[in-house]
Amino acid sequence: MSAPSLRIGLAGLGVVGATLAKRLLSGAVSGAVLTAVSARDANRDRGIDLSGLEFVADATTLAQSDNVDVVVELIGGSNGAALNLVRAAVAAGKPVITANKAMLAEHADELSLATTPISYEAAIAGGIPIVKTLREGLVGNNILALGGILNGTCNYILTRMEEAGLSFDDALAEAQAAGFAEADPTLDISGADAAQKLILLGALAFDVRPDINKWSVLGIEHITARDIALAQEFSYVIRLVAIASCRDNQIYMQVAPMLVRQGSALAQIKRETNAVFIEAEPVGRLILQGAGAGGGATASAVLADIADMVAGRGRSLFAHPTKDMRESPADGVMSAPDRMWYLRLMLTNKAGSIAQITQILAENGVSVKEVVQRSQHGDDNRLPIGFITDKASAQAIMQVGAALQARDDICSDIVHLPLYDDD
């Protein structure tokens, strides 16, 4: 006699939810059956027949339903209905599957105490099975570093600026028209979305308590077409890169636009694609890439979590409650290893200015490796200049930036971006 099917209650019938419902109704996961759904509009045509399912307006009702064994939360948002549903499911002793990285990152302290499984493969890098890779595929390995390109919206914008010479605003508008950016793109372009994913990965890989306030997060809003062009002249491209590493028992995490060497693996990741690298001992270096968002990729990850639940492989949020995990260091980006940097500034075109700039760099212990200077644009008598430095500390670069910004011959904010070390 076969075991009874696991009954799934699904909250959220947007693009991902509708794709998931269609797959479950077609029998995609043996031993799982969709029995109940919740959405704001019961009558909306989603291209699937939901008439045989229990439909509830209040998502939290799924947690109390006798017809639901596992709750799938695809509502979104760090609080509100999504959090209420997850809390209700945990209180009812029902496992949860979610794609909601914002909720997990913000409420990790609470949710790590749950005694029921909480699965979230879909919360990080879409269809790339990074959670399963860390928890199962690399068991016994010592994770040294991980990260990569974790936000498809930013990657789309930056690569379209690179490919077509678009301005940031035009590339963002194109991404919104193509459905790769939200009407309000702040969460993505600020770097916060990638940071939420990174701190969850850091908790899995390094047992570090998630705390987004302890780490350096820089978005792409200030990247201009000039930066893209200067980077190309230095034989680099710009990508929003998330990095977490553990060296000599010191943890470091950062999200920032970085110059990535042309021809490297990360430089080949275009548009909405995501890529995650892992450096571990003894396996070495791995790179996983694939669709980072979208109905198909995200639904695929949720289906994998459902299959694990059917097989009895549900897990708690992390290996330990956050109260038993190591704390993030308080100095954020200042704990970063020395690295090369890109500096960009607009300088008034007058004799001796460039020599004075390089003198400021030298006074702060920063040496220049390469310089690109462009002739003035129009009649504004300004020179765009890009520098690549030798390796320097973040503190030294901040001091350089402050000293330069105080000068009256600097015509714009100083842009300083780290170079991604792919050695």
SS3 assignment for 173-223: HHHHHCCCCCCCCHHHHCCHHHHHHHHHHHHHHHCECCCHHHCEECCCCCC
Amino acid 333: pLDDT: 60
10: Cβ contacts below 8 Å, ≥ 6 apart: 17, 20, 21, 24, 34, 36, 37, 38, 62, 72, 74
Confidence of residue 123 (pLDDT cuts 50, 70, 90): very high
State mean pLDDT over 91-99: 97
Amino acid 216: pLDDT: 85
Q: Are 299 and 26 in contact (CB under 8 A)?
A: no
What average pLDDT does the structure give for the chain? 92
Amino acid 405: pLDDT: 86
State mean pLDDT over 209-235: 93
Confidence of residue 367 (pLDDT cuts 50, 70, 90): very high
* Weakest-pLDDT range from 235-239, 307-311, 335-339, 386-390: 335-339
Asked if 197 is an active-site residue, the reply is yes
Q: Which two tokens stand for residue 60?
A: 């939290």
- What is the DSSP pairing of strand 382-389 with strand 368-373? antiparallel
Q: Which two tokens stand for residue 349?
A: 């075109």
pLDDT digits (tens, 9 = 90+) for 25-72: 999 999 999 999 999 888 888 889 998 999 999 999 999 999 999 999
| pTM to 2 decimal places | 0.93
Confidence of residue 288 (pLDDT cuts 50, 70, 90): very high
CA–CA gap between residue 65 and residue 37 (Å, rounded): 11
Residue 78 has pLDDT above 80, yes or no: yes
State mean pLDDT over 318-323: 95
Amino acid 40: pLDDT: 87
pLDDT digits (tens, 9 = 90+) for 133-180: 999 999 999 999 999 999 999 999 999 999 999 999 999 999 999 888
**Catalytic: which of 22, 101, 197, 214?**
197
Domains of the chain: 6-94 (3.40.50.720), 130-290 (3.30.360.10), 341-418 (3.30.70.260)
Amino acid 165: pLDDT: 95
State mean pLDDT over 219-223: 96
* CA neighbor of 403 nearest in space, from 414, 389, 387: 414
Amino acid 332: pLDDT: 57
* CA neighbor of 108 nearest in space, from 328, 276, 279: 328
State mean pLDDT over 169-192: 94
Residue 378 has pLDDT above 50, yes or no: no
Count of beta carbons in the 10 Å neighbourhood of residue 365: 13
Give me the sign of the Cα torsion angle 158, 162, 164, 167.
positive
Residue 375 has pLDDT above 80, yes or no: no
* Weakest-pLDDT range from 146-160, 286-300, 312-326: 286-300
State mean pLDDT over 2-13: 90
State mean pLDDT over 349-375: 86
Hunting for tokens 């949720």 — which residue is that? 302
